[in-house]
Amino acid sequence: MSSAGDLDLFVIGAGSGGVRAARMAARRGARVAIAEVAPLGGTCVNLGCIPKKLYSYASHYLESFEESHGYGWHGGIRPVLDWPMLKKNRAVEIARLNAVYGDLLAGAGVTVLRGRAHVVSENLVQVGSKVYGAKKILIATGGHPVIPKVPGAEFAISSNEIFDLPAFPAHLVVVGAGYIATEFASIFRGLGATVTQLCRGEQLLRGFDEDARHFVAAEMRKKGIDLRTGADVEGVERGADGRLHVALRTGGEIVADTVLCATGRAPNTQGLGLEGVGVRLAPNGAVIVDTHYRSNVESIYAIGDVIDRVHLTPVALAEAMTLVDHLYGEGKRVLDYDLIPTAVFTHPSVGTIGLSEAQARARFGSVRVFRSEFKALKHTLSGSTERTLVKLVVDAATDRVVGLHMVGADAGEAIQGFAVAMTAGATKAQFDATLGVHPTAAEEFVAMREPVARRIVPSTRRHWRLPAEKVQRRARTPLRAARTAPACLAE
């Protein structure tokens, strides 16, 4: 058994947050070991961000083939998806990334232990038959998908299994309304499947801006997704033909080849031994931590999905950097959870940073909203009916842009640049003074001049108005939200 002073930091979990914390701590001179029972890289590399984005890329090619006809491309047969090849090529890339993570850890001088870790005491961790001593222990074990407990739940799959289905599903039922469910609905529809998405609530993507939620739902329906709100699953049965019969609580059933349940995730803390050493856990198993990511046990810390704050890879990375700075640096780094750029890889994609309109109204009271909806230049020839939405939410008292939302092609790419501006505290006046890149959809963010005079929030149907003088001035201005011309022609 090693003594408590052998290691400065013992990290449990080699996902995004754990690997970053281990590497950065080692670079600052700490003696670090990391334990992982699964392939290196965690959910993001193996079962999340990376394979999902690869499949998202794949899902656009058929649509692009159809759209090319408007640009003069003809001839050839309609392309057919080779599902086994897609799975194989994805697996090769993931294996490469697993090796890269191993090399990064080794290069930083981190000791990698392959096996399941168990916390023995405040300063001891057991992996296999060996016990290791460490001054600090970091829990970075991530989370796992949870399938609802309904009759026949064993016939459903989670997002963990969706990438390696033996056969491509002709009809996929997606249960859930969050970003994981919504992304896979779009991906498999783009790949050629018939897709039915069941949302228990009134709309998908709860917590996102209302305009963005309703806009992307309408666009997804245009793509052919059977999106049903207010729909919940009663149970699942396998028929004599091998297909799955999904019974709905409101009556009726759907017959499908595969049922994907993407209704939530839970922290991976079971079996770690945390309760035995007195670590306080939330009812769902999340490690409860303070502002410095320390649990109630002085030597034990936690970051990433296991603390159940924001389930995003960049957040786990930022938490890792903040923690390492606190433990082995100057302690000046602070993570702002209000300004987290986020993308949802639907068709079309969603990009957002900051507050929704409703959140901004609750926080600031008086806000100005700028909204524009239009057909992107690409689709003037493609034949597609897809439209783009851009929206700014501005604190009226300070003129600071506090929310930025987009639904459209490459929304995530556009949002990243604006995230820098918003993090720096950009005002609407500074947006107005910024030149746009023409012709792009993102230039609309710096071209909107007049706030929306009257808005109806779809979920509540409540109205709000600007002061009378603003309404009068607005009436003399063409309605930007309804236009289809490029920004340069609408000034």
The residues annotated with a catalytic role in the active site are 438
Structure tokens, 87: 């799975």
Question: Directed axis angle between helix 210-222 and helix 357-364, to 10°?
Answer: 180
DSSP states along 338-403: T---EEE--SS-EEEEE--HHHHHHHHS-EEEEEEEE--TTHHHH-----EEEEEEEETTT-BEEE
Residue 25 contacts residue 1 (beta carbons within 8 Å) = no
- To which residue do tokens 């969050």 refer? 178
Within 13 Å, how many C-alpha atoms sit on residue 447's CB side? 22
Question: Directed axis angle between helix 49-67 and helix 83-107, to 10°?
Answer: 140
Residue 175 contacts residue 181 (beta carbons within 8 Å) = yes
* 131 vs 125: CA distance, rounded Å: 6
Closest among 45, 39, 49, 51 to 87, alpha carbons compared = 51
Residue 448 contacts residue 459 (beta carbons within 8 Å) = no
* 163 vs 47: CA distance, rounded Å: 8
Structure tokens, 455: 């808005």
Structure tokens, 136: 């600090």
Intra-chain end-to-end CA distance of the chain, in Å = 73
Closest among 382, 384, 403 to 445, alpha carbons compared = 403
The number of beta carbons lying within 10 Å of the beta carbon of residue 103 is 11
* 384 vs 92: CA distance, rounded Å: 34
Q: Phi/psi of residue 423, each to 5°?
A: -65, -30
* 322 vs 324: CA distance, rounded Å: 6
Cα 37 off chain centre by:
25
Residue 421 contacts residue 111 (beta carbons within 8 Å) = no
Q: CB-based contacts of 480: which residues, under 8 Å, 6+ apart?
A: 371, 372, 448, 449, 450, 490
Residue 374 contacts residue 388 (beta carbons within 8 Å) = yes
